[in-house]
Amino acid sequence: MPAKGVSHIAFVPTASRAACYRLWSPTRLVNCVWQRLERLGSALVVTLVGWTFTCAQAGTVVESAVTLQPSTALAPLPAGAVTSQRPIVLRADALLLRPALDAVAEGSVEFRRAGTLIRADRLSYDSGQDRASALGQVWVTRGGMRYSGPELQLKVERFEGFFLQPEFDFSSLGAGGRADRIDFLDSDRLRAERAIYSSCPREDNNQPDWLLRTDRIKLDFAASEGVAEGAVLQFLGLPILGLPALSFPLSDDRKSGWLPPTLVPLDSRNGFTLAVPYYWNMAPNRDLTLTPTVMTRRGLSLDSEFRYLEREHSGRFRLNWLPQDRVSGGSRHALDIDNQGRLFGGLDYSARWRQVSDSAYWQDFPRSLPGAIVPRLLTEEFSAERVQSTPLGLLTGYARVQHWQVLQTGSGSDLIVAPYQRSPQLGLRLTSPLSAGLQAAFETEINHFTRPDASTSAAMPTGWRWHAVGQLSRPFVQPGGWITPKLLLNTATYDLDPIGDLAGRRASRLIPSASVDAGLVFERPVSWFGRTQRQTLEPRMLYVNTPFRDQSGLPNFDSAERDFNTVSIYAENAFSGVDRVSDAHQLTAGVTTRLVDAQSGAETLRLGLAQRIRLRDQQVVLSGETLSQRFSDLLIEGASSVFQPWRFDAALQYNPDTRRVVRSIIGARYSPAPFHTLSARYRLASGLSEQVELGWQWPVYGGTAKPVGAAGGCGGTLYAVGRTNYSLKDSRMTDATIGVEYDAGCWIGRVVAERLSTGRAEASTRLLLQLELVGLSRLGANPLQLLKDNIPGYRLLREPGKALIPTSEP
């Protein structure tokens, strides 16, 4: 029986078996009461402190009824005072109500308030304490997180309470699990007791392929971090990793703590390798990673990486330190510094320093020198530059100091000759637009050239060089073509150091040059291969006239012959650098045609050829032999993606005198679908090398890749991945990367073997194993960057997403 003086109203279900009422905020109470009195007169109005109830009888229209509509997006959760002002919506088969005190709902109960949805068999709500108690099959949804279980106690607005034996699902992470109990500390924090987490299916009481079992786990969604106590990671029923405490982020945000270990079970030079990184998120713009490493053949080492990003500066410092190498018998290290920024007065600077302890370091640790183009030639460079607008034009001043560390590992033909060191290099560049469309440019530099190793290059000259290059041009540009006449003046002066008993000397040269560059662009619509296309025809000609100046007595500090390609064939000088200027009386002619898709603008076909015609012999050469060939080698290039899913590309250098191909690169790729790619490439450099390269990523077992959360076991997809490089000239495989990837839906396994040449008859081999647990982490050695760098068209089976534990990758 209800208490004395309190109205007790029982609602009979309507014909639709759904009784509905809406709880109004106190601020709307007075207006609502007066409206009802005016319209209904003697109608029953139940008014208690803080509540007004309006019941929907069968066939009655209720003005205040709430119409629920489905939505594909989650609205942001309300916060602060807005929460208390939002209405409560309650639906059920039967309702028992005590206004301003409590309500009891039974049968298909649905309770909504401020972004929280509760479904249950039975629910009671205490308005004074804002507490909902639900029994039966209880479901709670809030902010993309879903919980289900037999019993819930919750203070709705503050989202405080507990859930017994719940199952949970985090849609933002693509994973979930179950726990004995979850305590909701507030809307952003919870604590789960004896919890299990996985992204694998959890139906029919089957154990997931992988799961993380914890004694206790605390999650803070506002801070995007969590702490698991007594964590054990199981894979296919076997425990593979156990930690007393584990701290992790709940998103891609960085979080300090130990990262998953990296395992390399086989390395021909270092043996079994185990690395356990520790990540320190020092600040939003600074972090430090320390990686203690154990190598069974060499001993203990410590790898460290410090990164920072300031408003005017950014950089990275890396140090790999092996205190005592058991193989070589000494301390070894590798230092890599990369820094750039802006100093006072708008002065931009950059510093790049690579250094290793010994010449054999690149062979024993070839992957410790990231970004090194030639691992036996390490640069130590500092440069500064400032750009200033002046009345004459845009003026750029720059300075650089560049040294080299040369890693010599043999004798005779194995010795490499390092470039000259510059200490210092000082220069100015000026670009100035003149009247009547004229454009002027001027550059001058002074360099001091030294050798990095005097013992291997005692006979090579060193000293100072000053040079200046000025040019004047007048471009005439129209939509259908252009013509640019140009005049150049190139001068240099040398002050050379003594060599042995030979005294130092001075020398200089002054070389003028003239050129005319012209081209046309014709365009027309066509329909080829069943597609609307736009075809272009682009002829181009370059005339160069540079008189002969004897430069055989001058030193060569930085000049080399340009590679023969579509860019260099239209260059005025056949050499890079400053010390050599080729004499020329020549005409370069070429033509290119393209097919461009009229809708997307993508290039579907390109064909081009070019040839240089010498009107007199070229006497300035590095080989010492005059070039008397009237017609240079013919350059032919092309690429096509017309015959989808095939793509072809080719570049040929053809000698018309010998009627033979001097160099060629021919490639083809077949990519009919994602994760299906085959590629082949043939490279020829006559007399030097001849290589064939094959690459692939292809499913060899199973169907298509499964979505996240699909069943694992043997029903996944097995992919073969790899790339091989075979030398036809030496009849041996130079480099190879071969492996397999198995995608089981909620986890991916990778096994990759790599063979890397470190000499003519030497190579290092290693085996990489990785287990990627979707929604959690990647464990083991990371081969993904290796696969992306080596396999044309390779795609990740799972794009990087939010994970509970960060990977050990940089």
Omega of the bond leading into 806 within 30 degrees of 0 (cis): no
Euclidean distance between the first and the last CA atom of the chain, given in angstroms as a whole number: 68
Instruction: Give the torsion sign (CA, 67, 70, 76, 77).
Output: positive
Question: How large is the average pLDDT for residues 37-60?
Answer: 31
* Two structure tokens written together for 373: 């183009």
pLDDT at 449: 95
Write the pLDDT tens digit of every residue in 234-284: 998 899 888 888 776 676 667 787 887 888 888 888 899 999 999 998 998
Q: How far apart are CA 742 and CA 236, in angstroms?
A: 14
Q: How far apart are CA 802 and CA 491, in angstroms?
A: 59
Residue 785: helix, strand or coil by DSSP? helix
pLDDT at 457: 56
- Which range is least confidently modeled, 209-218, 592-601, 708-717? 708-717
Residue 55 has pLDDT above 50, yes or no: no
Percent of the chain predicted with pLDDT > 90: 52
pLDDT at 341: 94
Question: How large is the average pLDDT for residues 283-312?
Answer: 93
Question: How large is the average pLDDT for residues 727-740?
Answer: 91
Name the pLDDT band for 804 (thresholds 50, 70, 90).
very low
CB within 8 Å of 524: residues ≥ 6 apart: 534, 535
Question: How large is the average pLDDT for residues 300-307?
Answer: 95
Q: How far apart are CA 98 and CA 101, in angstroms?
A: 5
**Residue 402 or residue 505, greater confidence:** 402
Q: Specify the pTM.
A: 0.77
CB atoms within 10 A of CB 437: 11
Beta bridge partners of residue 84, listed in sequence order: none
Are the CB atoms for 659 and 623 separated by under 8 Å? Answer: no
- Which range is least confidently modeled, 360-374, 463-477, 579-593? 360-374
Residue 543: helix, strand or coil by DSSP? strand
pLDDT at 204: 62
* Two structure tokens written together for 278: 């520790």
pLDDT at 70: 53
Decide: residue 348, CB within 10 A, 0-12 exposed, 13-18 middle, 19+ buried: middle
Percent of the chain predicted with pLDDT > 70: 82
pLDDT at 454: 58
Composition of the chain by helix, strand, coil, percent to 5:
5, 55, 35
Write the pLDDT tens digit of every residue in 388-412: 999 989 999 999 999 999 887 766 6
**Residue 263 or residue 794, greater confidence:** 794
**Residue 473 or residue 598, greater confidence:** 473
pLDDT at 39: 37
Residue 121 has pLDDT above 60, yes or no: yes
pLDDT at 41: 33
Stretch (H or E) spanning 751: strand 747-757
Name the pLDDT band for 535 (thresholds 50, 70, 90).
very high
Decide: residue 337, CB within 10 A, 0-12 exposed, 13-18 middle, 19+ buried: middle
Q: How far apart are CA 56 and CA 327, in angstroms?
A: 86
Are the CB atoms for 681 and 692 separated by under 8 Å? Answer: yes
Residue 503 has pLDDT above 90, yes or no: no
CB atoms within 10 A of CB 624: 6
Name the pLDDT band for 681 (thresholds 50, 70, 90).
very high
Mean pLDDT value across the chain: 83
Residue 79 has pLDDT above 80, yes or no: no
pLDDT at 512: 97
- Which range is least confidently modeled, 197-211, 413-427, 531-545? 197-211
Q: How far apart are CA 267 and CA 45, in angstroms?
A: 83
* Two structure tokens written together for 65: 């009824």
pLDDT at 736: 93
Residue 411: helix, strand or coil by DSSP? coil
Beta bridge partners of residue 765, listed in sequence order: 755
Residue 657: helix, strand or coil by DSSP? coil
Comparing C-alpha atoms, which of 635, 637, 631, 570 is closest to residue 607? 637
Write the pLDDT tens digit of every residue in 437-449: 999 999 999 999 9
